[in-house]
């Protein structure tokens, strides 16, 4: 990074010069080019959530991470979607109570030498789909979890699994198929090249030294809003890119307002903030489609890709409260940048 180049400026430069021009080809492909992820690693983005001594932004660096996600998503959502999965595992390792975990994993993850994804859907509300039990020397995992992004592009998987007492175990697995770990493809309306899959475990053994930490579900749910909020910046990135492509865009004030809301929302306000960002992306993509005219329906046109990506982000990573906020806003026709649509 140049001496006077901020994280945000660096991300915007890479988004404009590298990611955005190649985004249509990636969108029509089957897998994100590894070269794109190499570029993110070279720029230091894999280590953003690492401690400062390893190149991270350190405490209070959420705004820098959010701005990088916004800029990159406006360049190529698929590439950003894969790279963003790395943030959670990076933070889990950095805060792990195990010194051995930190010593073994922190450096390679921060440098992007190891690239991680997440498998958390198996412990969300409803019957647990991923179960774990302790055995001598480690753990055995059984069950199925969907929405595992970046398969074939990641080498490490952070898995969340519940034991018989409901305690969540967070484990680091090698992202490699085996007789006890198999994957099935998922077809998506957008970001298909993210290679998002469903992973199935059948008596899969994980060594004991791969446990980063354990949490009760309530403790984990109380901090899960961080990831939910960060997903809002993916939508903000789409909205920003569309706004930059619209002649005399009227959306600049809305973009600024939604960014501030996402950055400052308390946990209770995240559903409203997420809904604002998602609807702003849809509004911006719709405006771009209309302004671009009939050529926007061509398969290689940026407008149709951004429109599909905005639709994807409308429901990706949703929660009941976010869904209700979206439905209430859509029913009322409220301004996406306005405050909560739900009576308090």
List, run by run, the mean pLDDT of 10-residue segments along the chain (344 residues): 75 97 95 96 93 76 93 98 95 95 96 96 80 97 95 97 95 98 96 97 98 92 77 97 96 97 93 96 97 95 97 90 93 77 43
CA distance 284 to 73: 14
Per-residue DSSP letter, 200: E
For 7-110, CATH number out of 3.40.710.10, 3.40.50.970, 2.60.120.10, 1.10.540.10 equals: 1.10.540.10
Contacts of 266 (CB under 8 A, 6+ apart): none
How many Cβ atoms sit within 10 Å of the Cβ of residue 267? 14
The residues spanned by each domain of the chain are 7-110, 116-217, 224-332
* CATH topology assigned to domain 224-332: Butyryl-CoA Dehydrogenase, subunit A; domain 3 (1.20.140)
pTM of the model: 0.93
Bridge partners, 199 (sequence order): 145, 183
CA dihedral 36, 38, 44, 49 (to 10 degrees): 80
Cβ-based neighbour number of residue 297 at 10 Å: 12
Long-range pairs for 287-291: beta carbons < 8 A, 24 or more residues apart: 287/242, 287/246, 287/249, 287/251, 288/242, 288/245, 288/246, 291/246, 291/247
| 315 C-beta neighbours (distance < 10 Å), count | 12
The rounded distance, in Å, linking the Cα atoms of 97 and 1 is 32
CATH assignment of 116-217, among 2.40.110.10, 3.90.1150.10, 1.20.1560.10, 3.30.230.70: 2.40.110.10
Please give the pLDDT value at position 218.
87
Could you tell me the CA-to-CA distances from 169 to 133, 177, 190 in Å, in that order? 10, 21, 31
Would you state the pLDDT for residue 221? 80
CA distance 282 to 236: 10
CA atoms within 13 A on the CB side of 182: 6
What are phi and psi for residue 198, nearest 5 degrees?
Answer: -100, 135
The DSSP output letter for 43 is T
- State the residue for tokens 């085996």: 178
- Closest-CA residue to 19 (of 63, 76, 58, 99): 76
The C-alpha atoms of residue 141 and residue 160 are separated, in whole angstroms, by 10
| Stretch (H or E) spanning 89 | helix 87-94
Q: Please report the pLDDT score of residue 344 as a whole number.
A: 30
Residue 146 per-residue DSSP state: E
Of the CA atoms within 13 Å of residue 292, those in its CB half-sphere come to 22
pLDDT of residue 342: 47
Angle at 151 between CA 119 and CA 155, to 5 degrees: 85
Judged on CB neighbours under 10 Å (0-12, 13-18, 19+), 336 is buried
Equal fold, 7-110 vs 116-217: no
Q: Please choose, from the candidates 311, 320, 337, the residue with its C-alpha nearest in 3D space to the C-alpha of residue 258.
A: 337
Q: Give residues with Cβ within 8 angstroms of 82, minimum separation 6.
A: 32, 37, 117, 149, 150, 153, 154, 194, 195
- Residue whose C-alpha is closest to residue 159's, from 117, 125, 103, 129: 117
How many of the other CB atoms lie within 10 Å of CB of 79? 29
Contact 117, 157 (CB under 8 A): yes
């Amino acid at each position: 990074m140049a001496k006077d180049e901020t994280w945000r400026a660096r991300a915007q430069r890479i988004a404009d010069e590298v990611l955005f021009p190649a985004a249509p080809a990636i969108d029509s492909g089957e897998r994100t080019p590894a070269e794109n992820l190499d570029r993110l690693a070279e720029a230091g983005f894999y280590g953003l959530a690492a401690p400062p001594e390893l190149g991270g932004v350190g405490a209070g660096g959420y705004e820098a991470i959010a701005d990088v996600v916004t800029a990159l998503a406006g360049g190529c959502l698929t590439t950003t979607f894969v790279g963003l999965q790395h943030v959670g595992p990076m933070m889990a390792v950095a805060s792990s109570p195990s010194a051995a975990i930190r010593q073994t994993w922190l450096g390679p993850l921060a440098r992007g030498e190891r690239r991680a994804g997440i498998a958390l859907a198996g412990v969300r509300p409803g019957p647990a789909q991923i179960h774990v039990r302790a055995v001598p020397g480690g753990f055995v995992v059984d069950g199925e979890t969907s929405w595992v992004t970046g398969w074939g592009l990641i080498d490490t998987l952070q898995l969340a699994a519940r034991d018989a007492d409901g305690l969540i175990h967070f484990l680091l697995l090698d992202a490699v198929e085996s007789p006890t770990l198999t994957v099935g493809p998922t077809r998506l309306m957008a970001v298909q090249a993210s290679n998002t899959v469903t992973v199935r475990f059948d008596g899969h053994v994980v060594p004991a030294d791969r446990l980063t930490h354990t949490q009760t579900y309530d403790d984990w749910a109380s901090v899960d809003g961080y990831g939910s909020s960060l997903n809002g910046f993916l939508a903000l990135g789409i909205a920003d890119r569309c706004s930059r492509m619209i002649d005399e865009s009227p959306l600049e004030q809305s973009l600024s307002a939604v960014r501030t809301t996402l950055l400052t929302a308390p946990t209770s306000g995240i559903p409203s903030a997420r809904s604002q960002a998602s609807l702003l992306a849809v509004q911006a993509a719709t405006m771009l489609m209309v302004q671009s005219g009939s050529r926007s329906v061509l398969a290689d046109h940026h407008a149709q890709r951004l429109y599909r990506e905005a639709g994807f982000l409308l429901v990706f990573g949703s929660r009941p409260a976010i869904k209700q906020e979206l439905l209430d806003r859509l029913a009322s026709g409220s301004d996406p940048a306005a405050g909560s649509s739900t009576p308090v």
